[in-house]
Amino acid sequence: MNLTSTYLKKIIQDKATELGFIKTGFAKYDILENESAKLRAWLNEGKQADMVWIERGFDKRKDVRIIMPEAESIISLAFNYYTPFEHDESKPKISRYAWGKDYHKILKKKLKELCEFIEQISTSFPSPLLKGEGCILCRAYVDDGPIMDKAWAVRAGIGWMGKHTNVINPEFGSWFFLSEIITNIEFDSYSEPTEDLCGSCSLCVSACPTGAITDEYVVDANKCISYQTIENRGEIPPDIDLDGWIFGCDVCQDVCPFNSPKHNFVTGEEGFYPSKVILPLTKGESVRQLADEGVETLNNMTEAEFAEIFANSPIKRTKFKGWKRNLHLCN
């Protein structure tokens, strides 16, 4: 039998769902002219702070064929990381995405399996979906390469770009990680973009503790608590109040109406649940007795203990020096 585009998309979606992804979308290859023009303007205004790698990978972000010359499509995927815990405002706060294991490690394993599944299809069916002769090719990224993941997610119908610059899905909100697979498959049809439903709402803009959302759909990293607590290797400017955050910040997502309880679907991936050292920082009767012990553990952690405890956590990115700096500013 021939492998039709409709059937191929269905079996890819089914496999992605089996692996735990909540949304799968398909976008046709294109040079991201409009998106890269906005990125260039943002860079020219210095809103990237010292994240120089964004500039270095600019051309690849604009045109994925610099990464894969055979690229015909981009498959965008979303993976839910929401867990049924809340921040305890009286304790140091860590962004939800970093409560558990490093999402790169969890999702890369799933993407590897999905890519192998897609690539093996070409050995099972004769396919008219490739230009020229050859096998299906896939190259996957999880927030770890020069890919405009949010732009491709929007084009692939995963959701729309919210005013806080996170992608929002009308059903699942924004508590999800994005991944992409660049492939040489040319599909007959592609996903439709999702309507921007932010409307006149500006809760995320007004709620940002530092005013980092300087305009709708624009974030200045220099003012952003997430940038300052994670990427900044120097001193945090005295006019930046961390508001109790020691790694990342969830305020703009916490206030979003699309992240209300009716949208908060709990992830099926246990690896994203709070680790034993993070659990005491969350709110609830089951963890109350651990709270004081948890904060003491954070404050007294040695560099060796930091390396061991957060070896498989996104928190290791801030380095021990940054960790101690952030804790000091929030105590």
**Which residue shows structure tokens 């500006």?**
202
Q: For 177-189, what is each residue's pLDDT tens digit?
A: 999 999 999 998 9
For the chain, give every domain's residue range.
5-87+99-183, 203-330
pTM of the model: 0.93
CA dihedral sign of residues 304, 306, 310, 316: negative
Average pLDDT, the chain: 91
Q: For 192-237, what is each residue's pLDDT tens digit?
A: 999 999 999 999 999 999 999 999 999 999 999 999 999 999 999 9
Q: For 141-171, what is each residue's pLDDT tens digit?
A: 999 999 999 999 999 999 999 999 999 999 9
**Phi, psi (degrees; rounded to nearest 5) at 124:** -100, -30
143 part of the active site:
yes
User: What's the pLDDT score for residue 221?
Assistant: 98
With beta carbons less than 8 A apart as the criterion, state whether 293 and 280 touch.
yes
User: What's the pLDDT score for residue 8?
Assistant: 87
- Asked whether the predicted pLDDT for residue 125 surpasses 90, the reply is no
- Asked whether the predicted pLDDT for residue 294 surpasses 90, the reply is no
Q: For 29-53, what is each residue's pLDDT tens digit?
A: 999 999 999 999 999 999 999 999 9
User: What's the pLDDT score for residue 265?
Assistant: 86
CA distance 254 to 177: 16
- Asked whether the predicted pLDDT for residue 1 surpasses 50, the reply is no
CA distance 59 to 74: 17
Higher pLDDT, 296 or 207: 207
Q: Which of 9-23, 123-137, 249-263, 292-306 has the least mean pLDDT?
A: 123-137
Instruction: Choose the catalytic residue: 14, 50, 59, 143.
Output: 143
